[in-house]
Chains A and B, each alone.
Chain A
Amino acid sequence: MSPIRNIVSASPHIHSGQSTRKIMLDVIIALIPAFLVGLYVFGIGSLIVTATAILSCVLFEFLIQKFWMKEAGNVGDLSAVVTGILLAFNLPSNIPLWMIIIGSLVAIGVAKMSFGGIGFNIFNPALVARVFLLISFPVEMTSWPKPFENTWTYLDATTGATTLGIAKEASLMGQTLSEVSDMIQSSQDMLLGLTGGSIGEMSAIALLLGGIYLLYKKVITWHIPVSILLSMFVIGGIFWLTKQDMYLDPVTQLISGGAILGAFYMATDMTTSPMTPKGMLIFGVGIGLISIFIRLFGAYPEGVSFAILIMNAFVPLIDNYIKPRRFGTPIKFKIR
């Protein structure tokens, strides 16, 4: 007998080294630029909100796993941190701490752990929490601090409305956009993120930077973000062309609100998105259509989070019917 204690296992004997933790770490890295812009624009409040959200999410995950599910915890995979950051990015920087903690409990406890933890949740946890908070505390959730005026203030920040909010208000009041045009920020400011809004959703450029990093790292593929943004652009553009004075132009639609944050970070959440490229495109177009319709015709100024949650519910259906093309079967239509 050989003196060595052999290990025997089935092939393959090597592994790519990719892990859930590394993927989550990449997402965190990708979110840093947007956070820095948030910090610059909204000041200390954004730091407090983000830190609270991360801490409470991780804590709830740890506690639930240890005392409720009684299993070896996997807080180390950083998925709770990502949920915390994404939740914070969807909150205004002057929201009270207890609301954040409630939000974290909803995200981790209700949306994630009650389904069985990572990989089993149907809906994106951060978005469930966000929508829960938005419906429960509409005032606090939509009084956005004004940019640059609140560097050192937290709860008592001066607040203002967002571009989408103004446009919605105007359309509900029967006003035209040109009547409120002086209140709408320039698209350059919106691109850089120097406007009011939630902590992380404002700077299109910072978010795109992180998105490109994720694409480069192959954490996400182009299918979901591109299909969401393209469908929003096309449908928004059609309506804008019909009534230019009532609807925002499509470029503003894309760079305002949570469109880019949603398209690159929320909709691409692996657990709650389809597996196949074809499925991803269907998913993305669905999100784009629903969010643009909510924005233009719904009661809420912003619809990306609702759209993603609605399409999340369709993911099992999409995965069931949209199969990858098997090798050796005829090509129906090609996406690659």
Chain B
Amino acid sequence: MNDVLMQSVGILGGLGLLSSIFLFVISKAFYVYEDPKIALVEDILPTANCGGCGSPGCSAFAEKLVKTDDISDLFCPVGGNETMQEIAKLLGKEIKEKPPMLAVVRCQGYCDVRPHTTKYEGPISCAIESMIYSGETDCQYGCLGNGDCVDACLFDAIYMDETDIPVVISDKCTACNACVEACPRDIIELRPKNKKDLKIFVSCVNHDVAGAARKSCQNACIACGKCVEVCPKEAITITDNLAYIDPVYCTLCRKCVDVCPTNAIVETNFPVKKVKA
């Protein structure tokens, strides 16, 4: 009986010893030096792994931050300026501050203004639908409503409203660019975010000429040029039948919103205007 006991203890103990020696040797032989700073930087980063910085994940970005000398081009949109400054302090490198951004959806093709003329059947994915044809409505630029942007968002900052147009929740949006890349129609754009979240933008991407655009969607930009005329800062340009408001020059005066005949220019979070009696 004792023999059996000793034998099994010996075998198991021996096995354990052998494997620990083996593991020790392996860990020494294949040791990879990693800069301890990388781990520190990674701790500062938000670890959302969203890919908004261009790197595949936060640890890859941390490595990049530590290894490159000039990090002024690198930016973590989720952490924003505070995070970047903290990293800059830790690494002793210069960063460039960036204004906070926010994703905006440039389409107002709700069901009542943009009639559906066909029905799509197939995988529920904007990317696949856009590959097959121009979508259920006659507008070949607007939102397809299958929610690729919602799937792409890691922060639950986008949801589809009841008419299948995505809505961005400003507080949650980190401007990581994931939805912009996911959208096959390039409807979503990153625009600067100010303190009160005031925005004015052309909520349309239709490049059709006026008649065709208006026929397919009542809220479409028809490139009439009224907004260009009224803009005091020359912030609005029309290219290829579509108006665009440059956020750099726009002073949020709201003149263009009033003149737009199709309500394609929208304002958000402004106080209600006093109606002149």
A6 to B138, CA, bound (A): 12
Main SS class of interface, B: mixed
* Cβ-Cβ contact count across A and B, 8 Å cutoff: 27
Note all chain B residues with C-beta closer than 8 A to A5.
117-119
**Is A10 located at the chain interface by the 8 A CB criterion?**
yes
Contact digits for A2-34, partner B, Cβ 8 Å, 1 yes 0 no: 000111111000000000000000000000000
Contact indicator A7/B122 (Cβ below 8 Å)? no
Contact digits for A131-153, partner B, Cβ 8 Å, 1 yes 0 no: 00000000000000000000000
The listed residue with most B CB atoms (<10 A of its CB), out of A5, A6, A8, A9, is: A8
**Is A1 located at the chain interface by the 8 A CB criterion?**
yes
Note all chain B residues with C-beta closer than 8 A to A7.
118-121
Q: Which residues of B, 18-32, contact A by the 8 Å Cβ criterion?
A: none
The listed residue with most B CB atoms (<10 A of its CB), out of A6, A7, A10, is: A10
Note all chain A residues with C-beta closer than 8 A to B131.
10
Contact of A9 among B117, B121, B138 (CB under 8 A): B121
Note all chain B residues with C-beta closer than 8 A to A6.
117-119
Contact digits for B123-134, partner A, Cβ 8 Å, 1 yes 0 no: 000001001110
Contact digits for A169-183, partner B, Cβ 8 Å, 1 yes 0 no: 000000000000000
Q: Which residues of B, 199-232, contact A by the 8 Å Cβ criterion?
A: none
Note all chain B residues with C-beta closer than 8 A to A1.
117, 138
Q: Which residues of B, 95-122, contact A by the 8 Å Cβ criterion?
A: 117-122
| Interchain nearest-CB distance for A153 vs B (Å) | 49
A7 to B131, CA, bound (A): 15
Note all chain A residues with C-beta closer than 8 A to B119.
5-8
| Interchain nearest-CB distance for B92 vs A (Å) | 49
Closest to B122 in A: A9
A71 to B27, CA, bound (A): 46
Interface set of A (CB-CB < 8 Å, partner B):
1, 5-10
Listed A/B pairs (12) with beta-carbon separation below 8 Å:
A5-B118, A5-B119, A6-B117, A6-B119, A7-B118, A7-B120, A7-B121, A8-B119, A8-B120, A9-B121, A9-B122, A10-B131
Interface set of B (CB-CB < 8 Å, partner A):
117-122, 128, 131-133, 136, 138
Closest 7 CB pairs of A and B: A9-B121, A6-B118, A9-B122, A10-B132, A8-B118, A7-B119, A8-B133
> Can you add 19 more A-B contacts, CB < 8 Å, to A1-B117, A7-B118?
A5-B117, A5-B118, A6-B117, A6-B118, A6-B119, A7-B119, A7-B121, A8-B118, A8-B119, A8-B121, A8-B132, A8-B133, A8-B136, A9-B120, A9-B121, A9-B122, A10-B122, A10-B128, A10-B132
